[in-house]
Amino acid sequence: MLLIAGSVPSLGLHATYGKVEQDGNFLVFGGQRVPNMQGTTVMISAALAVTRFFNLEPPYALVAGDAGDGNGTREIFDFLFQKVPELCPKVITLHYCLPVMGLIRKFIQTVEKCPKRPVLIADAGAMYAAKAGGMAKEFDIFTPDPSEIAYLADPKASHPAYVSEHLIIVDSSQVPQEIADAYKHGDAAKLLLVKGKTDYVARDGKVLTTVNEPNVPALEPIGGTGDTITGLITGLVYAGIEPAKAAVIAFRTNRIAGQLANPTPATKARQIVEQFAEALKVTTKESYPSA
């Protein structure tokens, strides 16, 4: 099974778990209809699009509302502590949550109880917590953007808000060095997907490949187009594709889908996801160098 967990900015939603279905602009699971906007929900919808393309079982989602007080985050992790060894998912992706170091450490301890260790993917708050809690190397994939790779590269930063001043100015030319620094300090997952104008795939401190075509500048102001990449890599790894190859397919699919959507600043991320099936017809047939 594929399990995706993360919070949404809602006060009234307690931890909800179930197999995902889509109903128009809503995701349906655990008896709830959750708006498919951006963040965790659009990431889930992206993974769902991949499972549909490969005719796989849909993802299971674990979502709770968290408006910053951490209650939803704790509900999510309490569920994971209780159920992960029993469920033993093939892939677990953690997304938005309050970055509480103690919770992420206990999560890793819980994962070790699984009969077979899941592939672990993290983005957003879960990635921050993993780095701050010294657990980055326990994850298989991180999906930072250029500002987040600066955070991973700074050994003294416990949160992206505290990144050294010289790293705050996002300079894409520094990304390869920041990737190397993140690995040097033990603050990177086994594989990094750095999302940006140029996308980077890196392992062990070295850039394996970059992706920059097609270039669709109109995607830049659309919220959630980084979350869709995390959903894509989640679904592709679940489909059994080697992670570095899956990373290139994810980057290419997101870009081609964006081009197909003919986006404007008013375009929603879910409209990009709607083009994934067509984009995947192209990208899953392309040849990629072995990594």
Which pLDDT value is given to residue 144? Answer: 96
The answer as to whether 289 is a domain residue is no
At a CB cut-off of 8 Å and minimum separation 6, what does 266 contact? none
Which pLDDT value is given to residue 162? Answer: 55
The answer as to whether 34 is a domain residue is yes
- Residue 163: pLDDT over 70: no
Q: Give the CATH number for residue 209.
A: 3.40.1190.20
The answer as to whether 290 is a domain residue is no
User: Is residue 95 a contact partner of residue 144, using CB atoms and an 8 Å limit?
Assistant: no
pTM to 2 decimals? 0.95
pLDDT tens for 48-93 read 999 999 999 999 999 999 988 899 999 999 999 999 999 999 999 9
Instruction: Identify the residue whose tokens are 């708006």.
Output: 35
- Hey, is 201 helix, strand or coil? strand
Which pLDDT value is given to residue 131? Answer: 95
- Give the separation between CA 69 and CA 128, rounded to whole angstroms: 17
Total domains in the fold of the chain = 1
The answer as to whether 288 is a domain residue is no
pLDDT tens for 107-140 read 999 999 999 999 999 999 999 999 999 999 999 9
Residue span of the structural domain in which 102 resides:
2-283
C-alpha dihedral sign at 119, 124, 125, 130: positive
The answer as to whether 208 is a domain residue is yes
Burial pattern 121-152, b for ≥16 Cβ within 10 A else e, equals bbbbbbbbbbbbbebbebbbbbbbbbebbbbb
Q: What is the DSSP string of 127-193?
A: HHHHHHTT-GGG-SEE---HHHHHHHH-TT-SSGGG--HHHHS--GGGHHHHHHHHHHTT-S-SEEE
- Residue 200: pLDDT over 70: yes
The answer as to whether 129 is a domain residue is yes
Calculate what percentage of the chain has a pLDDT beyond 90: 81
Which residues are 7's β-sheet partners?
64
Other CB atoms within a 10 A radius of the CB of residue 82 amount to: 11
The answer as to whether 291 is a domain residue is no
The answer as to whether 120 is a domain residue is yes
pLDDT tens for 254-291 read 999 999 999 988 899 999 999 999 999 999 998 766 55
Other CB atoms within a 10 A radius of the CB of residue 9 amount to: 14
